[in-house]
């Protein structure tokens, strides 16, 4: 027994180009870099030791910003970029 949705999903995954896969990996790679940065330099995460720290010092957490930027890219930008790449790939050559 074959499922129509599963067949379409497998065909869609096979059509993805190397460019689309690379664009799709930028967000998770950036998030992984932010997490690695937080583990390698835990003193940058001031909420772990907030003694005598002001609001802006606690608000500014560079490794967390990197993770948020990667998440934003993966959720907001990557799907549109991949769709554009697929449209360019499906367009007839002139």
Q: Check residues 25 and 6 and name the one with the higher pLDDT.
A: 25
Q: Are 41 and 85 in contact (CB under 8 A)?
A: no
- pLDDT for residue 26 is more than 90: yes
Residues 6+ apart with CB under 8 A from 37: 44, 62, 63, 66
Please state the φ and ψ torsions of residue 68, each to the nearest 5 degrees. -65, -40
Q: What are the boundaries of each domain within the chain?
A: 17-90
Quote the pLDDT of residue 78: 95
Quote the pLDDT of residue 5: 65
Span 46-94, pLDDT tens digits: 766 677 777 777 678 888 899 999 999 999 999 999 999 888 876 676 6
Which pTM was predicted?
A: 0.71
Beta strands in 2-55 (DSSP E): none
Distance of alpha carbon 19 from alpha carbon 77, whole angstroms: 14
Quote the pLDDT of residue 29: 97
């Amino acid at each position: 027994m074959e499922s129509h949705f599963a067949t379409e999903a497998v065909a869609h995954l096979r059509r993805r180009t190397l460019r689309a896969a690379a664009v799709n990996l930028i967000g998770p790679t950036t998030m992984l870099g932010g997490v690695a940065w937080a583990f390698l330099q835990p003193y940058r995460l001031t909420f772990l030791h907030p003694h005598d720290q002001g609001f802006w010092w606690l608000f500014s957490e560079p490794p967390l910003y990197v993770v948020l930027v990667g998440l934003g890219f993966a959720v907001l930008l990557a799907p549109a970029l991949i769709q554009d790449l697929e449209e360019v790939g499906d367009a007839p050559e002139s």
